[in-house]
Amino acid sequence: MTNGTPRFELIPAVDLKGGKCVRLQEGIASRSTEYSDDPVSTALHWEAQGATRLHLVDLDGAFSGESAHLPIAKSIFRALKIPVQFGGGLRTLEQIEAVLDLGAERAIVGTAAVENPSMVGEAVKRNPGAIVAGIDARQGKVVSRGWTEKTVVSAVDLARRMKDAGIPRIIYTDVSRDGMLRGVNWEETENVCSKAGVRVIASGGVSGVEDVRKLWERRGCGIEGVILGRALYDKRIDFADLRKQVLSWKSDG
């Protein structure tokens, strides 16, 4: 992080599917809305708006287990001055290190965190600080393989395991709210953060400024940022304005 990076980060999302920027509803591949056919320009737009980090997801990779957008990802890494965290289909050590070598600052593991924790532990040893666990859940239980497979593992338990493996932060997504503009599940986000004792970036369901405020007010437990998707693309939130508001909250207390 640079000295100008705020403690609570607002992180725009660019989700890739078929080479285009889309948003899914509830993590369902068939329920997607296309927003742009130029992912690099979209990423540059959020940087220009004042973003300090970008969240880049290969949705095709998440469903297939094979990264499908590495050339686009590489172009985005090279075009931006801000750091990028990348996820989607990273299920082997080779895939993780390939993405980091291309220029991602952080690699996000989801399915591998559930199915191959020993590999994740090795990735952490080789790339300290660069591995993030993406924990996607419905009703508190983890889902994997592009959100298509339910597990009996609780989000809290998996977050604890990831902390024990040396992962410094997780991205917690309530999949049932993702892309639905129903409001962020700040209660469960806070629960995971507090019980697992790990830093958390919140994701899924942000519909307006008030959702961001609820998360910001709970940053003391370790919630360090929020990923913004559909609310930005549907213009329910103006990123530059939101950034100013968050900075004003900081100055107030």
* Residues with a known catalytic role: 15, 136
Candidates 164, 189, 89, 85; CA nearest to 131 is 85
Candidates 215, 204, 139; CA nearest to 178 is 204
Q: Locate all alpha helices (DSSP H) within the chain, ordered by sequence.
A: 39-48, 59-64, 70-79, 93-102, 111-115, 117-126, 155-164, 186-196, 209-217, 230-233, 239-252
User: What tokens appear for 40 in the block?
Assistant: 């690099």
The conformation of residue 10, written as its DSSP 8-state character, comes to E
User: What tokens appear for 180 in the block?
Assistant: 């639905």
